[in-house]
Structure formats: C-alpha cells, structure tokens
Amino acid sequence: MISILKHRVNLPGLEQLFTSCILLSVIFLPDFKLTSGFSVRPEDLIVSLTFCYLLLYRAFFNTLFIKILGLMAIIMIASIGLNNRLLSVNSFELYNKIIKGSVCYTIVLLFLQNRANYISFTKGLTVCIITAVIVNLLQIFHIPFISDIYTIYSNQIQMDAFGKVVATSSLPRVTGLIGNPNNNSTFFLVITGFILDQLLVERKKSIHLLILILCVTIIILTQSRTMFAATLGLFFIVLVSTGNILMIIIIGGAYFFIQYFDIKYLSLIFNRDEFIQTNSYTGRISEWQSLLEMINRQPFMGYGGYKEYFYETQTYPESEYILGWFRYGAFYVLSYIYLCVHIFIRGAVTAWQKLPNGYFMLSTSLAMIIGSISNTPFNNPRLFVLFALVNAYFQAGFLYTVQYQDM
C-alpha cells in the first residue's frame, strides 16, 4: 500500500508540468554532451526544480521502491567514501541514479493520485509510444534529413557500428532516439508490457494490436539478442497465463521475419556454436573475467565507482550485475537484484490475476533482470528514470484497483 509521510499543500499544475516534462524528455530528448565522457540530461533542470518543490511541500512516499533506492544510496556513499572518491565525478552517479529516480518516482506518483490524471497520463503515454514507434521505423529508410537527426542521439561508436551492420545486412540495427540498439530494445520491451495490458486487460484492440506487433518488430530491428530472448520470455509467460493463441502467432511471425530478412546478427541466437565464437560473446567473457579478478580483491566495498578504469583500459563492462558489484560492492548488487525480483513477482501476480499494469511491471522487470546479464540498462539515465516512472504508474494503478475491489 502507499503510505505518504507528509504532504502539506500541493500545486497540481506544477505536478502535471513536471511529470509531462520528465516523460517527454525520457522518450524524445537527447543528452547534452559537456565533455567526451560527461553528459547531462534535459530533465536535470526539471528534476532540480521538482526536488525543491517536494522539499517545500514535504511530499515523500514511504514505499518499498523508495526504501530500496535509499539503501542503495547509503551503500554507494559508503563505497565512494571508503575509496576516497567523494570529490570524484563518480559521485555524480549518486544523483544520476538514486536522487533522480526517487524524485521522478515521487512526482509522478503524486500527480497520479488523482484518477483523472491517471487516465490522462495513460492516454498521453499511448500517444508518446505511437510517436516513438513511427520515429524508430523511419530510421530504416535512410532519409537524409531524418538520418542526420539520429546522429544527435548516438555517439560515434554507435554510428560506426550502425554503418558496419548496414554494409553486411539487409537491415540496419535501429538505434532510435535512445541512441544505442541494446538500450533502445530495452525501452521497447518495457512499453510492450504496457501495450499488452491495454490489449489483454483493458480490452482495447483497435490500434493496440498493431502497436504490439510494431514494438516486437522494432525489438527485432535493434538486433539485440539479449532483449529478443527476454521478449520471447515475456510472450511465453503471457501464453501460459492467458492461453492466448495470439502469442504463438506473434512469436512465429518474429521467427519468420528474422529468417526471411536473413538478420544474421540476431539469428545467431538460434545457433549456439557460432554464437560463442563471436566477438560480442568472447569480448564480454574476457572483460568479465578481468573485472571479477578485481572484484575478488574488494568484494564487499567495491571501488567507489572508479570510471577511470574503463577510460584507461578502453573497455566496457556489458553486465549490470558485474558493473554494480565492481563499483559499489556485493551489497549494492544484491539490493538491485532484490528490487528487480520483487517487481517481477508483483508484476507476475498482478498479471495472473488479470489486474491492470501487471504485464507493464512484468516486462519492466524482465528487461532489467535479463538485460542486466549482458548490458547495463540500470546505468543508463533515461532507462533508469523510465524504470522509476513505470513503478510509480504501477503503484498508482494498484491503488485504484484496491479501491475498486473495496467498493
């Protein structure tokens, strides 16, 4: 249940403004690159103003999500302090994850306390998703003006990789407005759960079925093997819980799409022997071994962020679990795992009971749990704010469900 510690006065107009700006920023706006290794997000100003607003009106929700983020903050500070890195740029990550996530969660949940706001937010989110789908699909047509826009969202490494795939495949890896194909597929897996809720629970079938198919298509076009596997897992759970034959049709259609367009990069997921020989696999294994050797020296306190390591070695961790363990120690990564498993269970139970937002929560947890194996979704500011937003939306929907059942 939602427990609010103190909420003296509020200004609904500001809450709507803050919530709308956060949503639009996360879905549509790029990073502002200050240096080669340091960027800020457009929502940072809004988050700062929102933080002042929440302090002024003393609004704070006493929920498990906030408690876990608070625990993770304590662990991060302890690790940073014990490693004498309190004045390091690594300390900014505390804001980028914990503070920003807590503020966004609180303001969105505060705004959604009004059922009319909850309904209007749902409609607004649907419009944003449709727009994001269209923008992503446009990328495969190589329209000069539009192609230039995507370069604003992607760094040079991603654009070079994009060019290599274009040269060797009939279809490119779609980076979309997230700027990274793996993170982009994570985003679309999360919103796939929202569409499943609208389709299977809310019984809205007119356009939502088409959006669902297009979301799966975009996940395929990102060619993220991890997220495609997570998507198959989501549809398998939906199939088991509902017995809906549509899930089999979509899965079959996805397989046919991959084979018909000969998407070799993604089809390797069906060929283990070739997959384990790819640079994507061997490179990750090599880096994980190096990080685990360092983790063994400081398993509990971590290295206090230590971003310099990756700049010096020109490597990237490619695993949220190993990265979190390396940076802040075992207790941090255990807290993260507990949070993800908790929302997975809540989402699964809610979906099984055919209640609103169960699949939304389920897809979000799967995206984080499975995506964190070979990617770092929790480390991406946009995805983390989206993660907080989904949890707030689920919590508000849960409140209205309980109220309806008690009537």
Side-chain-side CA neighbours of 159 within 13 Å: the count stands at: 11
> What is the CA 168 to chain-centroid distance, rounded?
29
| Interval 179-209: pLDDT, tens | 889 999 999 999 999 999 999 998 887 799 9
Q: CA 246 to CA 47: how far, in whole Å?
A: 41
89, two tokens = 């740029």
Q: Would you say residue 2 lies in a domain?
A: no
Residue entry with tokens 């876990």: 68
pLDDT of residue 163: 59
Number of domains in the chain: 1
Domain that holds residue 320: 12-406
* Domain annotation covers residue 6: no
Collapsing DSSP to helix, strand or coil, 386 comes out as: helix
Domain membership of residue 3 (yes or no) is no
Angstrom distance (rounded) from CA 326 to CA 317: 9
Taking the CA atoms of residue 28, residue 390, residue 77 and residue 314 in that order, the dihedral angle to the nearest 10 degrees is -50
State residue 2's pLDDT score. Answer: 46
Cα–Cα distance measured from residue 258 to residue 271, given in angstroms and rounded to the nearest whole number: 13
Q: Tell how strand 32-35 and strand 38-40 pair up.
A: antiparallel
Q: What local confidence, expressed as pLDDT, does residue 346 receive?
A: 94
Q: Is residue 59 part of a domain?
A: yes
Alpha helices by DSSP H, listed for 12-114, are 12-28, 43-56, 64-82, 92-94, 100-111
- pLDDT mean values, one per 10 residues, the chain (407 residues): 47 88 94 72 90 86 92 93 79 80 94 93 96 93 81 70 58 86 95 96 87 96 93 94 91 90 81 81 91 95 87 85 95 96 95 93 96 91 93 90 54
Q: Residue 342: inside a domain, yes or no?
A: yes
Instruction: Let me know: does 286 contact 340? Beta carbons within 8 Å.
Output: no
For 273-306, letters b (16+ CB in 10 Å) and e give eeeeeeeeeeebeebbeebeeebeebeebbbbbb
Check residue 62 and give its pLDDT: 86
4 lies in some domain? no
H or E, element range at 35 = strand 32-35
SS3 label, residue 263: coil
| CA–CA gap between residue 345 and residue 368 (Å, rounded) | 13
Task: Determine contact, residues 302/326, Cβ cutoff 8 Å.
Answer: yes
Closest by CA to 346, choosing from 393, 296, 301, 381, is 393
Quickly count: other Cβ atoms within 10 Å of residue 198's Cβ. Answer: 25
Does 7 map to a domain?
no
- Whether residue 162 is contained in a domain is answered as yes
What's the rounded Cα separation, in Å, for the pair 91 and 82? 13
